[in-house]
Amino acid sequence: MKTSVPSITLNDGHTIPQLGFGVFKVEPTETKRIVSDALRVGYRHLDTAAIYGNEQGVGDAIATSGIDRGELYVTTKLWNARQGDALDAFDESLEKLGLDYVDLYLIHWPAPANGRFVDAWKSLEKIRESGRARSIGVSNFEEAHLQRLLAETEVVPAVNQIELHPAHQQQKVTEFARRKGIAIEAWGPLGQGKYPLFEETVVAVAAEAHDKTPAQVVIRWHLQTGNIVFPKSNSRERMAENFDVLDFALSDSEVAAISGLERSGRMGGHPNDVN
């Protein structure tokens, strides 16, 4: 069994590690320590955002890690209120991270009521042209938002990062994105603890069959269904557990059974309501 993190080739030719580490709701004062632990565990893909307030801590952890920049994949995101001045917002993020470039820059939410996401995307196109973001993409975009971008701009997003877990798989937008060559990233991949996912019989049975935890089974399900996933944890032990998913594979029937848990169970805000 292959034990290195698999990668996905994006529509712009760049590759992205399929398993990463997210820092949503990680306290800024704890970020350096937590990200440093994640890097020691083996994670090389880090996902942050301006609104998280912890880009500086991510950058500090990178700076003191001793890991070559070329071995790391770093994502950050443009917050909704800055869609009108995305170029300046990006400069601020880059400075906080202490980096010359990021691997991926995302529009965090479409915030359609603001009416600015198309203009923001055109700014991201300029950032990509400058080389300071290798790839650009979006987050929390519905099919209608993607269709508008495709109709009015030049660059197809490399990824769409959306809430995605067994109870809420967003099949419509996922299928549309993949038809257009847009890779899917899953946030909240374990359901954020908001429903008893790990107690589902199909998850528990698969965990027992493979001598793994329910969380490891769900992360493996994401990998095998083609999602890019970055679970988060403040515990180094849990980080290591979440990373230890590369030495087994779910059967087709196990994958199908977990996919059968779909019930349109959104746990976060709807993209049309977040502004």
pLDDT digits (tens, 9 = 90+) for 72-107: 999 999 999 999 999 999 999 999 999 999 999 999
Give the pLDDT of residue 149. 97
Q: Nearest to residue 65, comparing CAs of 93, 95, 35?
A: 35
pTM of the complete model:
0.96
What CATH topology corresponds to 7-194+223-244?
TIM Barrel (3.20.20)
Give the pLDDT of residue 161. 98
Instruction: Give the residues across from 7 on adjacent strands.
Output: 17
Give tens-digit pLDDT for 115-167: 999 999 999 999 999 999 999 999 999 999 999 999 999 999 999 999 999 99
Q: What's the pLDDT band for 192 if we cut at 50, 70, 90?
A: confident
DSSP H or E run through 46: strand 45-47
Strand 21-22 and strand 7-9: pairing?
unpaired
pLDDT of 2 higher than 80: no
Active site residues: 52
Give tens-digit pLDDT for 223-272: 999 999 999 899 999 999 999 999 999 999 999 999 999 998 898 889 99
Give the pLDDT of residue 1. 47
| Alpha-carbon span 234 to 239, nearest angstrom | 8
Q: How far does CA 205 lie from the centroid of its chain?
A: 27
First-last CA distance in the chain: 44
Q: What is the largest CA-CA distance in the chain?
A: 52
CB atoms near residue 2 (< 10 Å):
8
